[in-house]
Chain A
């Protein structure tokens, strides 16, 4: 019996990835050399990068210029295909929450800089809604409704992230029109962590035509010890069972370059949802960086998914939603 780590199967997976377009729907890494190197080594064609600071003075603009031979900023699906054709990795810009100090007039400028997807709330309540670890979760605020409307007006993807509370998430689905995504989460049915998502909410997202990305953050897969690739793939199977093969993608949520040391803030990152020392913020076996992405493809092959389904899961579902929302 073959195994995702089996060299022959891995070679098959790499060959398949060369035929399809592989998309990581959410990355939390700092853009750095290691990210560039491992994205290329792992056969990832498009990376949606979290850039909390999208301002004109952010150093990442220069980083993108300095790495123009390897990276291309993209704002359209056509741009992603063009990057692929040029042998470069496409990079999209996203936020995990809308941080404009309640001044939505700033959004147009950030859209111009390249913002194409945004979360709303990060774990704890803000001006927009409540977070997944809040003691008393509630719906979107008045302002939160305006935020969703403003994002949609600009054709920026609305991402409930996995960091919103369930109540706020359902409210977003109520307010938003068209596909809504959850860029990085894991099934609550298999891992009891407030950061994970109920089957019902995954179905509701699928009903909008959206995508749910699976995260590779170890603690969202297992409570203790190192999560195996098998345990991760079991979660992926479950999400596909629940939401359907057209509505699941990967959103691995690596934090390369941001993996600090020492204690975390227990208010925004409480112990029931996150390990309390950054040293313990580890990833599923083989998925600590992007070089392991073919392991996922190999795992799907091993589990008997048809190549056209693997193509959807590994990228085409994201591209479908982005094409619809971005309007290209």
Chain B
């Protein structure tokens, strides 16, 4: 068996690989009338979280390749689901999010893919959104988010890990922004033409190209996500960026020292830019023990609030079952992961509100943590409306 067994289907006649062509598929079902009628405060109590990967194959070719490789290693026969079955997985996942009060969550569309796989992933994403349009909305701008809230659908925010489809061809940021890349992590966990990843052998800071990439992302109003980037590169990027940045799923090194987690210097720099840090439940990033708890996750949140402030924290969740280990030295185990009890899926979010209250976070604070802070950054970087 090889990576070629990735389940796939023919999506549309002809081959649509250019990212700009995706808009032509009409896959962004923002309900314009509803959006226009909505009050500006529609987003005041929005719950915006993530990233959380969707069911394959929508979650991407690289993820599928790694899943199949891991299952092969474990002797598990390849499971090949049909596109329809995959859509049903996504539908139940989206319903779980909706039932937990989630208005929108970030969805990894690209996780380290180069072209043409990256465009193919983006096409699958839009195809899935189109198929599920009565329950989901693709959130490509603030209107999309408002649309999700006022129509009661779940917003899916395409999220890109690694701008490998762009590299030094910086003009492509505009093309990807236009077709959905509202949030991008310029580097993944390993070395890139822009800088070093958190799992690298070195910690070298941004390259000249990396600095230009940060400026290009500012220019195109793409939210810069620095989760997974190495410490020096992160500091350089925050120095270079004129806009707030996010760490979509990163915890505090002061609570648990792990390469994915952030030192206080980084937390403060992020706060100074007006950004947010999304707390991750990924067990290896929560604690050194085998059985992290929801309280362990919240200790990270408390620390980030203490150092960065209540306006700079969010819920990164990172509920994933996908393999992360690429090189033997990578500081992550193979799946299945043991997520903290009480903090392992969307269904835990209602109880999480109570836990936050128990820890002394008032209603306003809870609103900021669950989405208010993230909405502030999205609005600040994207601008109001569809712009």
Q: Indicate with 1 or 0, residue by residue over A135-152, a CB within 8 angstroms of chain B CB atoms.
A: 111111111101000000
How many angstroms from the CA of A276 to the CA of B190 in the assembled complex?
32
Interface residues on A, range: 20 to 34
How many angstroms from the CA of A144 to the CA of B168 in the assembled complex?
19
At the interface with chain A, which of B50-58, B207-215, B248-256? B207-215
- On whether A127 and B193 interact (CB within 8 A), knowing A142-B327, A142-B329, A267-B212, the answer reads yes
Query: Nearest B residue to A142 by beta-carbon distance?
Result: B327
Give the residue among B168, B192, B209 with the most A Cβ atoms within 10 A. Answer: B209
How many angstroms from the CA of A130 to the CA of B203 in the assembled complex?
12
Decide yes or no whether A124 CB sits under 8 A from chain B.
yes
Residues in B neighbouring A139, C-beta threshold 8 A: 201-202
Give the residue among A102, A124, A136, A267 with the most B Cβ atoms within 10 A. Answer: A136
Give the residue among B193, B196, B205, B212 with the most A Cβ atoms within 10 A. Answer: B193
How many angstroms from the CA of A126 to the CA of B192 in the assembled complex?
5
Residues in B neighbouring A267, C-beta threshold 8 A: 168, 208-209, 212
Partner of B205, one of A133, A136, A143: A136
Residues in B neighbouring A128, C-beta threshold 8 A: 191
B197 to A: closest C-beta gap in Å: 8
- On whether A140 and B201 interact (CB within 8 A), knowing A124-B207, A134-B207, A268-B168, the answer reads yes
Residues in A neighbouring B327, C-beta threshold 8 A: 142-143, 146
Residues in A neighbouring B164, C-beta threshold 8 A: 101-102
Partner of A125, one of B112, B114, B199, B207: B207
Contact (Cβ within 8 A) A141 B209: no
Residues in A neighbouring B203, C-beta threshold 8 A: 138
Residues in A neighbouring B329, C-beta threshold 8 A: 142
Interface contact tally, CB-CB below 8 A: 77
- On whether A137 and B204 interact (CB within 8 A), knowing A124-B193, A127-B193, A142-B329, the answer reads yes
How many angstroms from the CA of A139 to the CA of B199 in the assembled complex?
14
Partner of B204, one of A130, A143, A144, A146: A130
Decide yes or no whether B91 CB sits under 8 A from chain A.
no
Contact (Cβ within 8 A) A126 B193: yes
Query: Nearest A residue to B117 by beta-carbon distance?
Result: A101
Residues in B neighbouring A135, C-beta threshold 8 A: 205, 207-208
Decide yes or no whether B232 CB sits under 8 A from chain A.
yes
Q: Indicate with 1 or 0, residue by residue over A71-85, a CB within 8 angstroms of chain B CB atoms.
A: 000000000000000
Residues in A neighbouring B190, C-beta threshold 8 A: 127, 141-143
How many angstroms from the CA of A101 to the CA of B166 in the assembled complex?
12
Decide yes or no whether B296 CB sits under 8 A from chain A.
no
Contact (Cβ within 8 A) B202 A138: yes
Contact (Cβ within 8 A) A101 B114: yes
A174 to B: closest C-beta gap in Å: 12
B342 to A: closest C-beta gap in Å: 35
Residues in B neighbouring A134, C-beta threshold 8 A: 204, 207-208
Residues in B neighbouring A140, C-beta threshold 8 A: 201
Decide yes or no whether B257 CB sits under 8 A from chain A.
no
Q: Indicate with 1 or 0, residue by residue over B200-228, a CB within 8 angstroms of chain A CB atoms.
A: 11111101110010000000000000000
Query: Nearest B residue to A121 by beta-carbon distance?
Result: B193
How many angstroms from the CA of A101 to the CA of B192 in the assembled complex?
11
- On whether A141 and B200 interact (CB within 8 A), knowing A101-B114, A127-B193, A267-B168, the answer reads yes
Residues in B neighbouring A103, C-beta threshold 8 A: 114
8 contacts between A and B (CB under 8 A): A102-B112, A125-B204, A126-B191, A134-B208, A138-B204, A139-B201, A140-B201, A142-B329
Q: 7 shortest A-B CB distances, which residue pairs? A: A141-B191, A138-B202, A101-B114, A138-B204, A142-B327, A136-B205, A136-B204
Extra A-B contacts (10), CB below 8 Å, given A135-B207, A139-B202, A142-B329: A124-B209, A125-B204, A126-B193, A127-B190, A138-B201, A140-B201, A142-B190, A142-B199, A142-B330, A146-B327
